Amino acid sequence: MEQVELLSVLQNIALGMAKFLGEDTEVVLHDLEKREMVYIANGHITGRSMGYQTNPSIYDVILDLADGDGHVIGYGSSSNKGKRLRSSHFIIRDERNVPRALICINQDTARLQAARDLIDSMIALRPLSEAEEPEGDDVNYIQKMTQRVIAGAIEKMKPT
């Protein structure tokens, strides 16, 4: 497949990935023959746009870091403005195993982190003191515990 055709197919895939992953995920297509960015979706994640000049040596670093399948998955990175990102790279090789293109994904995980923090706070359990621990098979444990909590709250509200 000619490079122009390959990049056209990959651009359509990158566009679909960006639509699927949403506005918090940047998807970038790089032409490894020319060592340049040829497509970007959701560039607001990193502040980049078409015409952004990537340091050519970064391609060699990514190629060196890739696993045997040509992937670098889920590492922590950051934008130029210090925004924490989760990044992945996918190397596309030709039939001779020559790297021809690179798809890069940068996710702003801030909203996911906030959702996780909310869920963690909602399911967090307060450890019981020894006085609060149930005794044996106490069938009235919940009622007794509720009474203790309410009585404690009332006691705290009394004027001193």
34-73, pLDDT tens digit by residue?
999 999 999 999 999 998 888 888 999 999 999 999 999 9
Q: In the structure encoding, which two tokens stand for residue 134, read together?
A: 């149930």
> Residue 9 pLDDT more than 70?
yes
Q: In the structure encoding, which two tokens stand for residue 62, read together?
A: 């990514």
pTM of the shown model: 0.75
67 — phi, psi (to 5°)?
A: -75, -175
Q: What is the pLDDT of residues 134-151, one digit of tens each?
A: 666 666 777 777 888 888
Q: How far is CA 65 from the centre of its chain?
A: 19
Cα–Cα distance, 147 to 133 (Å, whole number): 14
43 — phi, psi (to 5°)?
A: -65, -15
Q: Which residue has the tokens 């309410």?
A: 150
Q: What is the mean pLDDT of residues 94-113?
A: 95
